[in-house]
Amino acid sequence: MNKKNIIIAGIIIVAFALICMLNLYTDSIDDEDDCLVISLCTGNMRSIESGVSVYCARYHMPLVLSDKTIPDQIMNWLPGYVKENNIKKIIIIGPIDASEIIKLESLGINIKQVNDNNIASILTKMARNNKDIKHDSVIFTASDPLAAHLGSYMNLPVFITANNSSYNSADHLADEYREYLKDYNIQSVVIVGSLPESLKDDIKRLNISIDEITGHDTLELSYNVNNKIKEMGYLNKSSSAYYGFYGEVASIIPIAYNKNAMVIEDSSNMAGASNYLKENNITDIYFSRNLKSDYILMEEEDYISDSIIKELQDNNFNIKTFTKQRTLDEATGLYDVRITSAQIMENINQNMQKYDKTPQKCDMPPLISMLNNNTTTWQDSNNITCNITQNNTTTYTMKWSTIHPYTFTKINDTYIHATTNTGYEYDWIYTGNNTYNCIYKLNNTQYHTTRWTQQDNKWIETQDNTTYTWYYNNETGWSCCDENNTIIYEIIKK
């Protein structure tokens, strides 16, 4: 090929790339069937998801939250979900990595992206270019997803004032928001939660009145937002509530809206909502976070507190979890919520079955036994893979595909130490009578303990007042069962 042809070929490639880029971008989310939305929710896009979820709620679109790099747990799930639900289009909100766009395009569907310099520019672009949203007012919030709950019913855009990759508000109104207020001659706005006085002064200088909805904690703020929606004539016949914990609330706003359900945000993880829920004739509670005993190896104590469960059970509420029954830790549990939020609630556990294999005796509990197994690659029932590497005669690395690696060290015949190398440690100590205690520590301070006891061809895991039965099969691996001997979690050989 001569120099001229090389130049022509280069121009064609560049032109094709530009056409593809131009075809990729869009300005908003519009009412379309068979569409999935993926919103960034970390880094400098933290909290943008609360502004995005309003559109997903209004248009009955599933919303999945992601990093710039889509976590493996979500990426492994997407192809099956796209095929089963006949998804024809995915809209990405925010600056996702180009490599992730290529992966999504390999699904053979239409991929679009709404992107710009910052949260304010993206959210105002979406509002300006949406044909259905009202433009006579807006809702401002630092980062609280309850604003999206209100915005869904008011059909108003939600503008996020958080900056610096945090949940905290900027001190002043972003230029993009200021221009939007002027261009649409907006006379009044709603604020959900607390904003700096300096930012509110910026709004008042534009001769705009402010209606503030606040609360001394997120529970009270939840009540006040739900009450505001009830005053508008909605939620009065609702019998269900979605109970969330800030980070995952935005992804369940579309479901709560479509099911005419209340939203309770309890970021302090405290009890106290039962009276309000009873007064409003709520009977069914859907939790968007796991119970403590659901985690195989818990790190941060991100779970529904026992006091909340007890309070609601004592008041005869029907309690359901929005998560899978078991998962590795709170990080994978959060991914489970993001996946489940895109699925039909009633179908989450439809494939559960009884354990019907012949178990073999294994002299070590599941995670420890995996170190001594000839199998080095495993996969759990949430499609998370695990690779085990033996570093020397006493040390192993256990790397799960969606979380950081664990280092296991055999100290002696009765003591195995595991660490995440981030301050979290697990001491597996043999105490006799076929029993191991696993002591959880953070910075050398104990915060949790589980007990593992061998009984014939099974292991009994005890977490507080909850027990699980684990069976081992030489061909398949480990199965975890509930009190009815139903399989609720597995770690399978690959």
The pLDDT tens digits of the residues spanning 472-492 come to 999 999 999 999 999 999 999
Name the average pLDDT for the chain. 89
Same domain, 343 and 370: no
Q: 3-class DSSP state for residue 222?
A: helix
358, 375 contact by CB (below 8 A): no
d(CA 373, CA 493) in angstroms, rounded, equals 10
> pLDDT > 90: what percent of the chain?
70
Same domain, 254 and 289: yes
Instruction: Report whether pLDDT(16) > 90.
Output: no
Residue 309 lies in a domain: yes
93, 37 contact by CB (below 8 A): yes
Q: What is the pLDDT of residues 28-53, one digit of tens each?
A: 999 988 999 999 999 999 999 999 99
Q: What is the pLDDT of residues 334-351, one digit of tens each?
A: 666 667 666 643 344 445
Residue 406, Cβ neighbours under 10 Å: how many?
21
Q: What is the pLDDT of residue 349?
A: 45
Residue 150 lies in a domain: no
Range of the domain at 370: 366-493
Residue 205 lies in a domain: no
Same domain, 236 and 272: yes
Same domain, 486 and 415: yes
Residue 147 token pair: 């604003």
Q: What is the pLDDT of residue 335?
A: 67
Q: What is the pLDDT of residues 139-155, one digit of tens each?
A: 999 999 999 999 999 99
Instruction: Report whether pLDDT(71) > 70.
Output: yes
**The pTM is what?**
0.83
Residue 291 lies in a domain: yes
Q: What is the pLDDT of residue 310?
A: 87
Instruction: Report whether pLDDT(15) > 50.
Output: no
Q: What is the pLDDT of residue 14?
A: 43
Last residue of a domain, one of 318, 350, 382: 350
Q: What is the pLDDT of residue 321?
A: 78
Instruction: Report whether pLDDT(2) > 70.
Output: no
Same domain, 337 and 388: no
Instruction: Report whether pLDDT(273) > 50.
Output: yes
156, 137 contact by CB (below 8 A): yes
Q: What is the pLDDT of residue 3?
A: 60
Residue 328 lies in a domain: yes
Q: What is the pLDDT of residue 299?
A: 82
135: left (phi over 0), alpha (psi -120 to 50) or beta: alpha
Same domain, 390 and 299: no
Q: Which distant-in-sequence residues (6+ apart) come within 8 Å of 469 by Cβ?
A: 458, 459, 460, 461, 480, 481, 482, 485
Mean pLDDT score, 184-203: 98
Q: What is the pLDDT of residue 1?
A: 55
Same domain, 371 and 442: yes
CATH of the domain at 230: 3.40.50
Same domain, 396 and 488: yes
Q: What is the pLDDT of residue 338?
A: 65
- In this prediction, residue 268 has a pLDDT band, given cuts at 50, 70 and 90, of confident
483, 390 contact by CB (below 8 A): no
Q: What is the pLDDT of residue 464?
A: 82
Mean pLDDT score, 301-319: 86
Q: What is the pLDDT of residue 283?
A: 96
Same domain, 405 and 474: yes
- In this prediction, residue 7 has a pLDDT band, given cuts at 50, 70 and 90, of low
Count of alpha carbons within 13 angstroms of residue 283, beta-carbon side: 3
Residue 455 lies in a domain: yes
Q: What is the pLDDT of residues 214-248, one digit of tens each?
A: 999 999 999 999 999 999 999 999 999 999 887 78
Instruction: Report whether pLDDT(302) > 90.
Output: no
Q: Domains in the chain: how many in total?
A: 2
* Pairing assessment for the beta strands 284-287 and 318-321 based on DSSP bridges: parallel
Residue 448 lies in a domain: yes
Q: What is the pLDDT of residue 323?
A: 72
Same domain, 250 and 339: yes
Same domain, 457 and 384: yes
* Pairing assessment for the beta strands 110-114 and 139-141 based on DSSP bridges: unpaired
Residue 94 lies in a domain: no
Last residue of a domain, one of 294, 315, 350: 350
Count of alpha carbons within 13 angstroms of residue 350, beta-carbon side: 6
Last residue of a domain, one of 316, 350, 384: 350
Same domain, 305 and 385: no
- In this prediction, residue 352 has a pLDDT band, given cuts at 50, 70 and 90, of low
Q: Which residue has the higher pLDDT, 7 or 284?
A: 284
Which residues pair with residue 169 across a beta bridge?
Answer: 162
